[in-house]
Amino acid sequence: MSETVDNTKIYRVELGVRSYDIHIEPDCLGRLGEAMAKLFAAPTRCMVISNVTIAPLYMDVVRSSLEQAGWQVSECILADGERYKTMESFGLIMDALMQSKLSRNEPVIALGGGVVGDMTGFAASCYRRGIPFIQVPTTVLAQVDSSVGGKTAINHPHGKNMIGAFYQPKLVWIDPKVLNTLELREIRAGIAEAIKYGLIRDAGFFEWMQKSAKAALDLNADVLGQMIHTSCRHKAEVVMADETEQGQRALLNLGHTFGHAIESMTHYSTYLHGEGVAIGTLMAARLSEQLGHAPAGTEDAIRGCYKHVGLPVEVPGFSAEQWLDAMGHDKKNVGSRIRYILLRGIGDAFLAEDVSPDAINQLIDSYRK
Ligand code: NAD
Ligand code: MG
């Protein structure tokens, strides 16, 4: 890590030939062109992929920065929302790439949140068997999580992120100032994913988040910069150790087994992803205490932090059977196991594959008392 007095933070993700920098700096959006000119031998053509909400806010700055640095810029503007993270949008990106005749070493730039980033990365991995791509994340979630690590995907009607690839970006260019236009609810949901790193592997960061989350919500530049940097460092460390999720990368899914079930049982219309993860994490913490892995008080400490941020903490009232169904428990397949990420305490997560349906019944019962 290198750090300078002007709030610039750079973290290098070391993955051999796939290594890249994460650059975090307030107001850096207008210097993207310069940074990209350094990455490529000579500026040629590039394409910026964004959506109808983000493009009116930030496309002009990005385009003029690229053009000043000598790039010839084309655009592909998609509809806004998770429901457009589809084969159809993927096809629109391919059409635009074919029309602009981008060659194999000319880059695409994802300007947006996790949805734009995931789709752009996947399209970049496929077009001409792979062209370079740059992440310019514009949501808290994308800045602390999804823009780093190379998981790219689109959804299929039968499942989220079912079609995708591991494909690393060439650069992650983070301007925390763009968060000024983001809705408060989206900021909160992104902060839940930052808190997650503390819970999984850094108790000190969790304590810092307990103190600092309010300032992050108020978009205090120093606090945001620190939160994003520490989150990216944790994400990158995990990815460097386990790029394709053979082992410890799965720990990043703390709260996600229950969280995804919450999202799917409420038809993806009630909770944002980060909100589902927050509630799911509280459930994982209670289960960890119930099974004797984590000390009493673990769940309460996490709940206190979420409440402070204004995240939802109430577990929705579904039956144990509904929960198990939503989590992919197949009653016909006796051998099927649901994988849970549990806690030994704050800052120490582990993968458990031996949690019995009885334990889940008991957990769900505990919310009915
Ligand atoms: P999103 O991309 O849908 O963005 C949320 C909303 O904010 C959208 O309406 C968007 O248009 C708007 N927006 C974005 N930036 C803005 C800005 N600066 N100002 C105003 N509005 C802005 O949602 P998200 O939470 O960023 O990402 C969720 C997606 O990320 C999911 O599809 C999920 O599967 C994916 N994800 C991927 C990874 C990964 O490792 N690849 C990790 C976590 C999540
Ligand atoms: Mg997540």
Can you say how many angstroms the Cα of residue 354 is from the centroid of all Cα atoms in its chain?
27
Pocket-testing residue among 119, 138, 155, ligand 1, by greatest number of atoms within 8 A of Cβ: 138
Residue 273 falls in the annotated catalytic set: yes
CA-nearest residue, atom 4 of ligand 1? 113
**Largest pairwise CA distance in the chain:** 66
Q: Where is the binding site for NAD(+), in residues? A: 80-85, 114-118, 138-139, 151, 160
Give pLDDT, residue 334.
45
Instruction: State residue 336's pLDDT score.
Output: 61
Active site residue 339: no
Q: Is the pLDDT of residue 330 over 60?
A: no
Question: Is 180 annotated as catalytic?
Answer: no
Question: Is residue 45 flagged as an active site residue?
Answer: no
Q: Average of pLDDT values for 290-313?
A: 97
- What would the mean pLDDT of 75-81 be, rounded to a whole number? 98
State whether the beta carbon of 85 lies less than 6 angstroms from ligand 1: yes
Whether this model's ipTM surpasses 0.95 comes out as: yes
C-alpha gyration radius of the chain: 21
Does the CB atom of residue 186 touch ligand 1 within 6 A?
A: yes
SS3 112: strand
Q: Taking the complete model, does pTM exceed 0.80, yes or no?
A: yes
* Tokens of residue 197, six digits: 């790193």
Q: Is the pLDDT of residue 238 over 60?
A: yes
161 lines ligand 1 (CB under 6 A): yes
Instruction: Give residue 329's pLDDT.
Output: 58
Q: Distance between CA 145 and CA 114 in Å, rounded?
A: 9
Residue range 53-76: mean pLDDT, rounded: 98
pLDDT of residue 333: 44
Helices assigned H by DSSP within the chain: 32-39, 55-68, 87-100, 114-126, 140-141, 184-201, 203-217, 221-241, 256-265, 273-290, 298-309, 320-326, 357-366
Q: Given the residues 129, 158, 267, 332, select the one marked as catalytic.
A: 129
Question: Residue 159's pLDDT band (boundaries 50, 70, 90)?
Answer: confident
Which has the closest alpha carbon to 198: 327, 42, 43, 309? 309
- pLDDT of 331 strictly over 50: no
Catalytic-labelled residue, pool 170, 188, 235, 286: 235
**Which region among 56-65, 125-134, 264-273, 287-296 has the lowest average model confidence (pLDDT)?**
264-273
211 noted as active-site residue: no
Q: Residues 9-22: pLDDT tens digits?
A: 999 999 999 999 99
Instruction: Say if ligand 1 is within 6 A of residue 112 CB.
Output: yes
Interval 96-106 mean pLDDT:
96
Taking all residues of the chain, what is their mean pLDDT, rounded to a whole number?
Answer: 94
- Residue 92: its pLDDT value, please? 98
